[in-house]
Structure 1
Amino acid sequence: MASEYTTTGYIKHHLTNATMCSTENGIAFNKACSDAGFWQWHVDTLGWSIVLGIFFLWLFRSVGKKATTGVPGKMQAFIELIVEFVDDNVKSTYHGKSALIAPLALTIFVWVLLMNLMDLVPVDLLPWIAGQIGAAGFGMDPHDVYMKAVPTTDLNLTFALAFGVFVLIIYYSLKMKGIGGFAKELTMQPFNHWAFIPVNFILETVTLLARPLSLALRLFGNLYASELIFILIATIGYFQLPLHFMWAVFHILVLPLQAFIFMMLTIVYLSLASEDH
Structure 2
Amino acid sequence: MSGNTETLTSSGYIHHHLTNATVGEGFWTWNIDTLIVSSLLGLLFLGIFRMVAKKADTGVPGKLQCFVEMMIEFVDTSVKETFHGRSKLIAPLALTIFVWIFLMNFMDLIPVDFLPVSVQWVGEHVFGADPHHVYSKVVPTTDMNATFAMSLGVFVLMLYYSIAIKGVGGFVKELTLQPFNHWSMIPFNFVLETVTLIAKPISLALRLFGNLYAGELIFILIALLPWYGQWFLSVPWAIFHILIITLQAFIFMMLTIVYLSLASEDH
TM-score by length of 2: 0.98
Q: Sequence identity of aligned pairs in percent?
A: 66
* Structure 2 residues without counterparts, runs of 5 or longer: none
Distance in 2, matches of 1:146 and 1:246, equals 28
Equivalent of 1:168 in 152, 157, 168: 157
Q: Displacement, 1:93?
A: 0.1
Aligned to 1:265: 255
Task: Tell me the C-alpha RMSD between the 2 structures.
Answer: 0.6
Aligned to 1:222: 211
Deviations 1:5-63 (A, max 9, x none): 11100000000000111xxxxxxxxxxxxxx3221000000000000000000000000
Q: Displacement, 1:4?
A: 2.6
Equivalent of 1:49 in 27, 38, 63: 38
What number of residue pairs does the alignment pair up?
A: 263
Equivalent of 1:250 in 197, 220, 240: 240
What is the identity, as a one-letter code, of the residue corresponding to 1:119? D
Alignment of 1:235 with 2:224, yes or no, is: yes
Aligned to 1:185: 174
Query: What are the equivalent positions in structure 2 for 1:1-277 lying under 5 Å apart?
Result: 1=2, 2-21=5-24, 36-238=25-227, 239-277=229-267
* Structure 1 residues without counterparts, runs of 5 or longer: 22-35
Distance in 1, matches of 2:233 and 2:33, equals 27
Q: Displacement, 1:161?
A: 0.1
| Other structure's SS at 2:23 match | strand
| Other structure's SS at 1:16 match | coil
Runs of 4+ in structure 1 off by over 6 angstroms are none
What is the identity, as a one-letter code, of the residue corresponding to 2:264? S
Distance in 2, matches of 1:208 and 1:123, equals 37
| Other structure's SS at 1:182 match | helix
Distance in 1, matches of 2:205 and 2:125, equals 37
| Other structure's SS at 1:99 match | coil
What is the identity, as a one-letter code, of the residue corresponding to 1:71? V
What is the identity, as a one-letter code, of the residue corresponding to 1:5? L
Deviations 1:103-139 (A, max 9, x none): 0000000000000000000000001000000011110
Distance in 2, matches of 1:272 and 1:37, equals 37
